[in-house]
Structure 1
Amino acid sequence: MPGPERSDQRYCLAMPNSSVSGVNAGARVRALRAVRGHSLRAFADMLGVSPATLSHIETGKVRLSVDRLERIAELLGTTVEGVLTDRTDAMDAPAPRRRRGDMSLPPAGWRDYPPLELDPVLTAALAEFVRAGYHGTSVRDIARAAGLSVSGLYHYHSSKQDMLQSILYLTMSDLLERSSAARDEGSDPVERFTLLVEHLVLWHTYRRTLGFVGASEMRSLEPRNRHEIAAMRIAQQRMVEREVEAAVHLGRFTTLHPHEATRAVVTMCVAIPSWYQVDGPLSPEQIAAQYIEFALDVMRPQV
């Protein structure tokens, strides 16, 4: 049951259809989200709300608490002032990630994995990071693999750190978009959970190089960059947790430790790139079917 409403300005910065400093806060959120390249569904998952709730926030139909506003500003790489004011620098500030080489969901859907297409520098950087690790790779190594001079490489990305953060951002964006699409096909929490497990297995097999670097090189990110990628990873984890919690609430899953069980299932899927081989005995789809069985066993479904 919600507590009594507080009337101070800090608690409620944006009433429905109202504005702050002459600018509708919801419209600013929508504009900044678009500039940063986040889809409504992907950003809603990062924020931990439904797409409908985020849409209501952006159209000014629901109140925007200061805590949520601070979280939105953090995810958008700006400040609360940057969201609430009409300063152009908040819009024009570089996005937390480069958009070059961005991936989008194939028309065939989340189970379809066409060949990975990144810009030449990210393609080379990804291969070198897999081969030698981030710290074992030099900018000259990447330039050589890309067939570019070092100066030519800098026309694409400003530093090796920028290349890593771009790869990990693209990794998590693709993972979250496909996760949302897989989840949305389910009609109940158990079905949504199994679809999410299927998706995680398929992604970590078909996109194993991205998954391998994503799991092994988080520690190589600078603090600000690490914080954003960590927020996206938490959004992915929470997406699965919400379905498990709902299934437990309905009595469909009987695990006594839903949070830990979810973490075990997700970790099991994330580890796939460390052992999966394209020429192995099982296809990604066969592995996904096995992992769905393993995951359901962990959740102890009601018989």
Structure 2
Amino acid sequence: MAVRENVSEVREERQALGRRLREVRQAAGFTLRQVAAALEVSIGTWSAVENGQTRLSPERLEAVAALLGTDSDTLRGAPAEAAPETGWRDFPALELDAPLAGALEAFVELGYHGASIRTVAQRAGLSVPGVYHHWPTKQHLLVALLDLTMDDLLRRARAARAEGDGPLERFRLLVECLALFHTHRRELGFIGASEMRSLHEPDRTRIAAARQEMQRMVDEEVAEGCRRGLLTTPLPKEAARAVVTMCTALPQWWSPTGPSSPEIVAGQYVGFALEIVRGPRVDVANAGG
């Protein structure tokens, strides 16, 4: 348990530092590309730092502090004005810079390999050099979108899980969270499900590990529910994987113009998930919160 808590603390510290780095960089008027170039790292690597996905050495922290006109102690401390965290059920409009928004639209419509930088530029309302000014390759755009996807999903899933009292309630909340995310954020969810194969190493392994963390949360609650006799599936690991796969497939068919809202779908999927793990029946109409 102590090891798990220490890992969680390290992850939270990295995420907090990443948020502060992003805030200070933006306040100083630097782009991701400018910081990455100055530190002689890839944009994908620096995006991972700002998303709390990778470690920043003390030497590099000192270097970025000097670049941004501050000091490492300030970066390690609390931000002057932290942005308010939204609840895990709240989905404000997604705010992306123009190249990322154009890439997301192009990748969803044409697929990663079918979309060119010219296509991305057209969707973004920019010239091709305008896109390259901030993003050196199409791969960097994909990495940034998948980092954003997993960072947002895991933050919401941890918050949802923390609300639960016991494995059954935590399982229900995790399923609700997954269903809400993959409807409200269906474009990001679609890219996350369809374009992992397009990632290059080491980003593929790193982002796959984040996906495995999401699966592990559900695995643990199903296993504990079975241990306590609350769930009766004879195949807890396989059942948990079926539940997550069912939720991540939502972007393939759900549409905001359809008859069911994300909240209705989430309630239905909680019911479906409980059937899979052989849990107690619930009022499906109210299960989505």
Structure 2 equivalent of residue 203 of structure 1? 181
State the Cα distance separating 1:32 from its structure 2 match: 5.5
State the Cα distance separating 1:106 from its structure 2 match: 6.7
Asked if 1:256 is matched to 2:234, the reply is yes
User: Given the superposition, is the C-alpha separation of residues 217 and 279 from structure 1 closer, same or farther in structure 2, using an over 3 Å criterion?
Assistant: same
The whole-number CA distance in structure 1 between the counterparts of 2:182 and 2:54 is 28
Asked if 1:300 is matched to 2:278, the reply is yes
The two structures have a TM-score, normalised by structure 2, of 0.71
Structure 1 equivalent of residue 149 of structure 2? 171
User: Given the superposition, is the C-alpha separation of residues 222 and 300 from structure 1 closer, same or farther in structure 2, using an over 3 Å criterion?
Assistant: same
State the Cα distance separating 1:163 from its structure 2 match: 0.2
State the SS of the aligned residue for 2:163: coil
The whole-number CA distance in structure 1 between the counterparts of 2:62 and 2:103 is 29
The whole-number CA distance in structure 2 between the counterparts of 1:230 and 1:122 is 21
1:245 corresponds to which letter in structure 2?
Answer: A
Asked if 1:142 is matched to 2:85, the reply is no
1:152 corresponds to which letter in structure 2?
Answer: G
User: 1:121-158: CA deviations, max 9, x gaps?
Assistant: 10000000011111111111111221222222123222
Structure 1 moving runs of 4+ over 3 Å: 27-38, 75-78, 89-93, 104-108
State the Cα distance separating 1:296 from its structure 2 match: 0.6
User: 1:89-133: CA deviations, max 9, x gaps?
Assistant: 47759xxxxxxxxxx997551111111111111000000001111
State the Cα distance separating 1:254 from its structure 2 match: 1.2
2:97 corresponds to which letter in structure 1?
Answer: D
Any conservation in 1 of the 2:274–2:280 contact (CA below 8 Å)? no
Asked if 1:184 is matched to 2:172, the reply is no
Structure 2 equivalent of residue 69 of structure 1? none
Of stretches 285-294 and 159-168 in structure 1, the one that deviates more from structure 2 is: 285-294
Q: Which has the higher contact order (CA 8 A, sep 6+)?
A: 1
Superposed, which structure 2 residues align to 1:62-73 within 5 Å?
A: none
Q: Alpha carbon RMSD of aligned pairs, Å?
A: 2.9
State the Cα distance separating 1:301 from its structure 2 match: 2.3
State the SS of the aligned residue for 1:154: helix
Superposed, which structure 2 residues align to 1:210-221 within 5 Å?
A: 210-221=188-199
Asked if 1:157 is matched to 2:135, the reply is yes
Asked if 1:238 is matched to 2:216, the reply is yes
User: Given the superposition, is the C-alpha separation of residues 160 and 137 from structure 1 closer, same or farther in structure 2, using an over 3 Å criterion?
Assistant: same
Match among 209, 214, 223 for residue 201 of structure 2: 223
Structure 2 equivalent of residue 6 of structure 1? none
Any conservation in 1 of the 2:232–2:279 contact (CA below 8 Å)? yes
State the SS of the aligned residue for 1:175: helix
Any conservation in 2 of the 1:105–1:177 contact (CA below 8 Å)? no
Structure 1 equivalent of residue 257 of structure 2? 279
Any conservation in 2 of the 1:178–1:199 contact (CA below 8 Å)? yes
Q: Structure 1 vs Structure 2: percent identity of aligned residues?
A: 49
2:116 corresponds to which letter in structure 1?
Answer: S
Any conservation in 2 of the 1:106–1:113 contact (CA below 8 Å)? no
Extract unaligned runs of 5+ from structure 1. Answer: 1-15, 17-26, 39-74, 94-103
State the Cα distance separating 1:232 from its structure 2 match: 0.3
The whole-number CA distance in structure 2 between the counterparts of 1:228 and 1:137 is 24
1:228 corresponds to which letter in structure 2?
Answer: R
Q: How many residues align?
A: 228
Any conservation in 1 of the 2:15–2:53 contact (CA below 8 Å)? yes
The whole-number CA distance in structure 2 between the counterparts of 1:129 and 1:29 is 30
